[in-house]
C-alpha cells in the first residue's frame, strides 16, 4: 500500500494488507479509515476472499473486520449518507452477483441489502447529490462474456433498487463521476 502526498507530489510506502488481493472494493469511512473488502487472491482471479481490512491512517495499520458473507471480487463500495457503505454486486468464479450488503461503520457489522435487478460485477457506482447510489453497466460473468447497458439506483431511505434507464452502449470496467451540476 502507498499514500500519495499532494503537497510534495510524492508517494510513500505504508504497511501492506494482511492478504494480498486485487479487484477489491474500497471506500473511505467517516472516521478517516479505509474499508477494503473482498478481491481476487490468485492470478486470473481463480480464488477470492471475503475478508475485509480497515486501514487507519493515524496509526498506519491494517485491522481485520467482519468478513463479507461470501468471497467475491469486482464489487463496488460506495459511502452512504450517515457513514455506512453499500457494497454492491461482484463476481465469483461461477458468475456475478445481484446481492448487496451495507457495512454499518458505527458497529463494524454487515446487514444484508436488497438484491439488485441484475447480476453485475466490474460496474460503476456513484453517490448522487440526494444520497442515492447509481450503479451502471458491468458484466454478468467474471470473464465478461456479456456486458450490460442497464443501470439502477439504490435508495438508502427505502432500502430498495429501481431501474434507471439504459446506457447508450454496454460498458464494464469504467468509471462514473458526479459533476457539480449533479449529473453523472
Q: Any bridge partners for residue 86, and if so which?
A: 78, 102
* pTM of the predicted model as reported, rounded to 2 decimal places: 0.96
**pLDDT (tens digit per residue) in 7-62:** 999 999 999 999 999 999 999 999 999 999 999 999 999 999 999 999 999 999 99
- Per-residue pLDDT, averaged over 70-80, amounts to 97
Q: Please give the sequence-ordered ranges of beta strands (E in DSSP) within the chain, or none if there are none.
A: 2-5, 10-13, 25-28, 34-37, 52-56, 61-65, 76-79, 85-88, 91-92, 95-96, 100-104, 109-112, 124-127, 133-136, 150-155, 160-166
**pLDDT (tens digit per residue) in 84-108:** 999 999 999 999 999 999 999 999 9
Which segments of the chain does DSSP mark as H helices, in order?
A: none
CB 52: neighbour CB atoms within 10 A? 25
Amino acid at each position: 500500500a502507498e499514500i500519495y502526498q499532494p503537497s510534495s507530489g510524492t508517494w510513500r510506502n505504508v504497511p501492506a494488507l494482511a492478504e494480498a488481493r486485487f479487484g477489491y472494493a474500497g471506500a473511505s469511512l467517516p472516521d478517516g479509515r479505509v474499508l477494503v473488502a473482498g478481491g481476487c487472491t490468485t492470478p486470473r482471479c481463480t480464488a477470492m476472499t471475503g475478508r475485509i481490512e480497515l486501514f487507519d491512517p493515524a496509526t498506519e495499520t491494517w485491522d481485520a473486520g467482519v468478513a463479507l458473507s461470501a468471497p467475491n471480487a469486482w464489487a463496488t463500495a460506495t459511502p452512504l449518507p450517515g457513514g455506512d457503505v453499500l457494497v454492491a454486486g461482484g463476481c465469483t468464479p461461477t458468475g456475478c452477483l445481484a446481492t448487496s450488503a451495507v457495512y454499518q461503520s458505527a458497529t463494524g457489522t454487515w446487514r444484508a441489502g436488497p438484491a439488485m435487478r441484475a447480476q453485475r460485477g466490474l460496474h460503476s457506482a456513484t453517490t448522487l447529490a440526494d444520497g442515492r447510489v447509481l450503479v451502471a453497466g458491468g458484466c454478468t460473468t467474471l470473464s465478461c462474456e456479456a456486458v450490460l447497458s442497464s443501470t439502477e439506483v439504490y435508495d438508502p431511505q427505502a432500502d430498495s433498487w429501481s431501474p434507471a434507464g439504459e446506457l447508450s452502449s454496454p460498458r464494464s470496467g469504467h468509471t462514473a463521476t458526479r459533476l457539480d451540476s449533479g449529473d453523472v
